């Protein structure tokens, strides 16, 4: 029996089963089985595999990378060529773009790489079309732009989200607050620090036994679902922010536009007429959470033209030094910092000091 048939069978059974407390245990088991089969689909077992296919993934350049995901012919390539001035082949038929087309824009001093990925079709997560490679590239992005046609947005949005979820990409979500630690012996130790509406010790045990884990510590620190637990156990999930870009707004009325503006994580644009690009770029910047640090050579004015851009969460002085050169940290004595992260300007700081956006730094060597 093929993997796809097995997956279809489990999905049918889940659709047939009523959801209530009595069946929660059974549904949790089915979900775990489904997740395991999905993983096998993405990374097939065994085999030396065929030779290398034609290049699909693109080398990572710049400070952040953004992937454009969408169905064929929603205007991804037009958007890319108008944003970055890169020529990605554009035509009015479906499946024009066949491999990844990279482009780079400079925005607020940061170099941002844009990837135009081929159109995703339904069933991509089951290996149809170029879907598997497309989504493998999407996993490496810092931000995903889902490009939708404004005339048929919701159906497409649900399908694309479903495909991405099937590949272990979680959009606009935080990792679930669950502690999971495997042990050698001692059985399953289950603690919940708050009331659980779905999981109990039995369900947790059965999901873990599906993964052949019989000794582990599980701590639930928030009200979690069976899916959250499976995500933690699988451990290969990526959490990526996402913006929905509604293209072709030149085809709708102003009243409809007002309604669209209220949807969260959403930016209406027209790629062809270049409408509302500044709004889109601003939103992209917000979601990327990049931090710009300006450098100041001794006795000169700060260089405001080319900042060093660090990702959010890795903004200590040490990270800054490593970004420039790995030997810099060996010769590091202290740094002088001007900006919002210090109490007085300039302030002498060590390598653990956390920098904030648009700080100016001068590194003093030994």
Q: What is the CATH number of the domain that holds 338?
A: 3.10.20.30
Same domain, 118 and 220: no
**The domain boundary residue, chosen from 218, 234, 250:** 234
Please indicate, yes or no, whether residues 224 and 330 belong to a single structural domain of this protein.
no
214: alpha, beta or left? (left if phi > 0; alpha if psi -120 to 50): alpha
Residue 93 has pLDDT above 50, yes or no: no
61 compared with 68, residue with greater pLDDT: 68
Angle between helix axes 277-288 and 76-84 (nearest 10 degrees) is: 90
One domain for residues 219 and 277:
no
pLDDT beyond 60 at 123 = no
Query: For residue 237, which of 246, 245, 227 has the smallest C-alpha distance?
Result: 227
333 against 62, higher pLDDT: 333
Q: What is the pLDDT of residue 52?
A: 45
CA dist 350 → 81, 236, 309, 315, 319 (Å): 44, 35, 20, 13, 12
Domain end marker among 253, 287, 321? 287
The pLDDT score that the predictor gives to residue 51 is: 42
Same domain, 115 and 263: yes
**Is residue 142 assigned to a domain?**
yes
Residue 67, pLDDT above cutoff 80:
yes
Confidence of residue 48 (pLDDT cuts 50, 70, 90): very low
Asked if residue 192 and residue 128 are part of one domain, the reply reads no
CATH of the domain at 252: 3.40.50.300
In a domain, 281, yes or no: yes
Q: Decide which of 240 and 118 is more confident.
A: 240
Please name the residues in contact with 355: beta carbons below 8 A apart, sequence gap of 6 or more.
291, 293, 310, 315, 316, 317, 320, 337, 339, 341, 361
- Whether 65 and 115 have beta carbons less than 8 Å apart is answered as yes
Crossing angle (nearest 10°) for helices 21-42 and 226-234: 30
Phi, psi (rounded to 5 degrees) for 180: -140, 120
Asked if residue 324 and residue 258 are part of one domain, the reply reads: no
Q: How confident is the model at residue 122 (pLDDT cuts 50, 70, 90)?
A: low
What's phi and psi for 42, nearest 5 deg? -70, -45
Q: Is residue 259 part of a domain?
A: yes
pLDDT in tens, 292-344: 888 888 888 888 888 888 887 788 888 888 888 888 888 888 888 888 888 88
Structural domain span for residue 151: 64-91+99-172+238-287
pLDDT for 21: 78
* 277 and 299 belong to one structural domain: no
- Alpha helices for the chain (secondary structure H): 3-16, 21-42, 76-84, 131-138, 153-166, 201-210, 226-234, 254-261, 277-288, 317-324
d(CA 340, CA 324) in angstroms, rounded, equals: 22
pLDDT at 230: 83
Q: Are residues 137 and 36 part of one domain?
A: no
Report the mean per-residue pLDDT for the chain.
78
Does a structural domain hold residue 354? yes
Indicate if 228 and 348 belong to the same structural domain.
no
Distance CA 305, CA 59 (A): 25
Residues 137 and 162 in one domain: yes
Q: Is residue 51 part of a domain?
A: no
Q: What is the pLDDT of residue 195?
A: 80
Tokens standing for 272? 């062809």
pLDDT class of 53 with cuts at 50, 70, 90: very low
Distance CA 78, CA 88 (A): 8
Percent of the residues in the chain that have a pLDDT greater than 70, as a whole number? 85
| Mean pLDDT value across residues 207-223 | 83
Spatial separation of the C-alpha atoms in residues 86 and 243, rounded to whole Å: 21
Indicate the SS3 state at residue 246. Answer: strand
Number of domains in the chain: 3
- 103 in a domain, yes or no? yes
- Tell me, yes or no, whether 49 lies in a domain: no
Whether the Cβ atoms of residue 108 and residue 285 lie closer than 8 Å to each other: yes
pLDDT at 44: 57
Interatomic CA distance for residues 315 and 13, integer angstroms: 48
pLDDT of residue 300: 86
State whether 226 and 250 are in the same domain: no
Show the tokens assigned to 310.
Answer: 């660090």
The answer to whether position 23 is within a domain reads yes
Residues 156 and 303 in one domain: no
For 363, the 3-state DSSP assignment is: strand
């Amino acid at each position: 029996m093929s993997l796809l048939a097995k997956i279809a069978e489990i999905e049918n059974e889940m659709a047939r089963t009523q959801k209530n407390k009595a069946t929660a245990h059974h549904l949790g088991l089915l979900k775990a089985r489904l997740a395991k089969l999905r993983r096998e689909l993405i990374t097939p077992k065994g085999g030396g595999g065929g030779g290398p296919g034609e290049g699909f993934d693109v080398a990572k350049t710049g400070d952040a990378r953004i992937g454009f995901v969408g169905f064929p012919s929603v205007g991804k390539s037009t958007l890319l060529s108008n944003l970055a001035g890169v020529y990605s082949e554009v035509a009015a038929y479906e499946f024009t773009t066949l491999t990844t087309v990279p482009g780079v824009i400079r925005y607020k001093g940061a170099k941002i790489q844009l990837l135009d990925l081929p159109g995703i079709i339904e069933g991509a997560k089951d290996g149809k079309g170029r879907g598997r490679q497309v989504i493998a590239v999407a996993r490496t992005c810092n931000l995903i732009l889902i490009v939708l046609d404004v005339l048929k947005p919701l159906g497409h949005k649900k399908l694309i989200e479903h495909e991405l979820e099937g590949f272990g990409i979680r959009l606009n979500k935080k990792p679930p607050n669950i502690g999971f630690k495997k042990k050698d012996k001692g059985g399953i130790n289950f603690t919940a620090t708050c009331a659980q509406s779905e999981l109990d010790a039995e369900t947790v045990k059965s999901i873990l036994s599906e993964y052949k884990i019989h000794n582990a510590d599980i701590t639930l620190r928030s009200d979690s679902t069976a899916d959250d637990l499976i995500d933690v156990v699988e451990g290969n999930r990526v959490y990526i922010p996402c913006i929905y870009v509604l293209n072709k707004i030149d085809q709708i009325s102003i009243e409809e536009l007002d309604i669209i503006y209220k949807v969260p994580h959403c930016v209406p644009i027209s790629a062809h007429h270049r409408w509302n690009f500044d709004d889109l770029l601003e939103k992209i910047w917000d979601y990327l959470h990049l931090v710009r640090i300006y450098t100041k050579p001794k006795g000169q004015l700060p260089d405001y033209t080319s900042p060093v851009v660090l990702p959010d969460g890795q903004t200590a002085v040490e990270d800054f030094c490593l970004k420039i050169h790995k030997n810099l940290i060996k010769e590091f004595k202290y740094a002088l910092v001007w900006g919002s992260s210090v109490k007085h300007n300039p302030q002498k700081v060590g390598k653990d000091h956390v920098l904030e956006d648009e700080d100016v730094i001068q590194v003093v060597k030994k």
